[in-house]
Amino acid sequence: MSVTVVGSIAFDAVQTPHGGRERMLGGAAVHFSLAASFFDDVRVVGPVGDDFGDAEYAVLHGRGVDTDDIEHVAGGKTFFWSGVYHENMNSRDTLETDLNVFETFDPKLSRESLDAEVVFLANILPALQLNVRKQCNRAKFVALDSMDLWINIAREALVAAISAVDCVILNDSEVALLTGEREVVAGARKIMQHGPQAMVVKLGKYGAALVTPEDSFWVPAFPVDFVADPTGAGDSFAGGFVGCVAAHGGEAGIDVLKLAMAYGTAIASYNVEEFGTERVARLTGPEIVERVKELRRITAFDTPDVTLKG
Ligand code: AMP
């Protein structure tokens, strides 16, 4: 089995109430790859410029991520994003987005990447997502992420891409923007009418919901003591979630999806404790297992009902 991810590879600058970084490795595909690498072989597809060097590759190689399909655009500069987090850390403003080599990105997947059984289409132009989806003929499970920009300027293309995948992962405000529906389950079901059999609605510091045609399943965010930087939490979640499905051979039955919610939650919780990729780059399997176990403990209750009056 292997997982292919197509998306942004970036340098990020962030400011949070607890400090900041002027320039750190980021990008949706990077955060996803590091998280998914705990479950399966991962191939990352995305463009970089001349400023992307050995130190950045070393982070990906440190987790065994295959970087052969990273496209080095000679003379180009790597995508740059900067943002500032509000006091509550649950919302942020984008200060700058320099697309650079990302502007003309047209994903070229090697045979090995095309043959992946599990594919994650990170947040890129929806027409490119659909194009990649159509080429990945052997994929058993394809998930997609997007953002408000594409909902606003490429809605039809986004709906076409959504129609071609098995699972959509969005945050609650994106679901509301896409459907006009504020309630999580109702909004998710509207999106699933286009074809996907499952949806994950990310709720930031409040956790995430899995919605299927018949049911919904809710996991809180893991209660960490300190949040340094939420950047990449959504993509780390997606890496853990999709990676867990890959570890089950791409079979996304409801029990696997529920477990995947726990792995996504656990890895995202480590991501936010330090800046950018700093924490996940040195994360270990046993640490992930420990938080999944703790999640089970803090969400289960089996005390018998009380007898109520009335
Ligand atoms: P998340 O915090 O999970 O939403 O992901 C943040 C990551 O997405 C950062 O590392 C950014 O580099 C990347 N990013 C920000 N804006 C965009 C964009 N317009 N397209 C693709 N990736 C982006």
pLDDT in tens, 223-238: 999 999 999 999 999 9
pLDDT band at 99 (very low <50, low <70, confident <90, very high): very high
Could you tell me the maximum CA-CA distance found in the chain, to the nearest angstrom? 75
Pocket lining for ligand 1, CB < 6 angstroms: 8, 10, 12, 26-28, 81, 97, 123, 149, 231-235
Rounded to 5 degrees, φ, ψ at 102 are -70, -25
Residue-level pLDDT at 63: 98
b or e along 165-193 (b: 16 or more beta carbons within 10 Å of the residue's beta carbon)?
bbbbbbbbbbbbbbbebeebbebbbebbe
Does 54 score more than 90 pLDDT? yes
Does 101 score more than 90 pLDDT? yes
Does 90 score more than 90 pLDDT? no
Q: How far apart are CA 40 and CA 43, in angstroms?
A: 10
Does 265 score more than 90 pLDDT? yes
Q: How far apart are CA 192 and CA 213, in angstroms?
A: 8
Residues 6+ apart with CB under 8 A from 210: 198, 199, 200, 216, 217, 218, 219, 257, 258, 261
Atom of ligand 1 nearest to the CA of 237: 3
Residue-level pLDDT at 1: 81
Q: How far apart are CA 109 and CA 103, in angstroms?
A: 18
Atom of ligand 1 nearest to the CA of 79: 12
The answer to whether residues 160 and 140 touch, using CB atoms and an 8 Å cutoff, is no
DSSP string computed for 152-214: HH-HHHHHHHHHT-SEEEEEHHHHHHHHS--SHHHHHHHHHTTS-SEEEEE-GGG-EEEE-SS
Does 89 score more than 90 pLDDT? no
Extract the tokens encoding 88: 């509550």
Does 6 score more than 90 pLDDT? yes
Q: For a pocket test of ligand 1, which of 81, 125, 236 has the largest count of ligand atoms closer than 8 A to its C-beta?
A: 81
Q: How far is the CA of 28 from the centre of ligand 1 (A)?
A: 5
Residue-level pLDDT at 176: 98
pLDDT band at 88 (very low <50, low <70, confident <90, very high): confident
For 196-218, write each residue's pLDDT tens digit: 999 999 999 999 999 999 999 99
Does 191 score more than 90 pLDDT? yes
pLDDT band at 282 (very low <50, low <70, confident <90, very high): very high
Mean pLDDT of 274-299: 98
Regarding pTM above 0.95, the answer is yes
% of residues, the chain, pLDDT over 90: 98
Q: For a pocket test of ligand 1, which of 5, 14, 93, 147 has the largest count of ligand atoms closer than 8 A to its C-beta?
A: 147
Residue-level pLDDT at 137: 95
Extract the tokens encoding 199: 């949806």
Q: How far is the CA of 85 from the centre of ligand 1 (A)?
A: 14
Q: For a pocket test of ligand 1, which of 123, 148, 200, 278 has the largest count of ligand atoms closer than 8 A to its C-beta?
A: 123
Q: How far is the CA of 99 from the centre of ligand 1 (A)?
A: 11
131 dihedral zone (left: phi>0; alpha: psi -120 to 50; beta): alpha
Task: Write the residue with the smallest CA distance to atom 9 of ligand 1.
Answer: 27
Residue ranges covered by each domain of the chain: 2-299
Topology of domain 2-299, CATH: UDP-N-acetylmuramoyl-L-alanine:D-glutamate ligase (3.40.1190)
Task: Write the residue with the smallest CA distance to atom 12 of ligand 1.
Answer: 27
Task: Write the residue with the smallest CA distance to atom 6 of ligand 1.
Answer: 232
The answer to whether residues 184 and 209 touch, using CB atoms and an 8 Å cutoff, is yes
Q: How far is the CA of 222 from the centre of ligand 1 (A)?
A: 22
Residue-level pLDDT at 159: 98
CA nearest 60: which of 261, 239, 308? 239
Amino acid at 292: V
